[in-house]
Amino acid sequence: MGRVALRPCQLPGIVEPLRCAEVPVPEVRGGGATRTLRLRVVIVPALNPSAANEPWVEVVGGPGNAATDFARQFVEDLGYIRQTHDVLLVDQRGTGGSNPLY
């Protein structure tokens, strides 16, 4: 797939800059001609970044929940995680900004 180009972005209720991308993925993996879906990705940057620190990846379960809906929580309430880690939020297929089903 290669590298993903991140761009500056904003989400409602969040003042500080975030980085966003849409990652193209096949609707059916390994299966010939198929539609391409786009997964929404949001990175909430670390407050004190270091190349040595892995990102915090938030996995959101539950039917229909979008991980990117939790970005504000990381900005307002979970700053201790962001001290040295970027937070990676990916809306799973069919949720939030990733080809929603509704």
Q: In the structure encoding, which two tokens stand for residue 75, read together? A: 């900005």
CA distance 97 to 10: 14
Residue 15 lies in a domain: yes
Residue 65: the pLDDT is 84
Cβ pair 93, 100 in contact under 8 A = no
Residue 97: the pLDDT is 74
Could you state, in chain order, the average pLDDT of each consecutive group of 10 residues for the chain (102 residues)?
84 90 85 81 89 85 80 88 91 77 58
Cβ pair 96, 66 in contact under 8 A = yes
CA distance 97 to 30: 24
Residue 2 lies in a domain: no
Burial of 48 per CB tally in 10 Å (0-12, 13-18, 19+): exposed
Q: How many domains does the chain have?
A: 1
Residue 101: the pLDDT is 63
Residue 101 lies in a domain: no
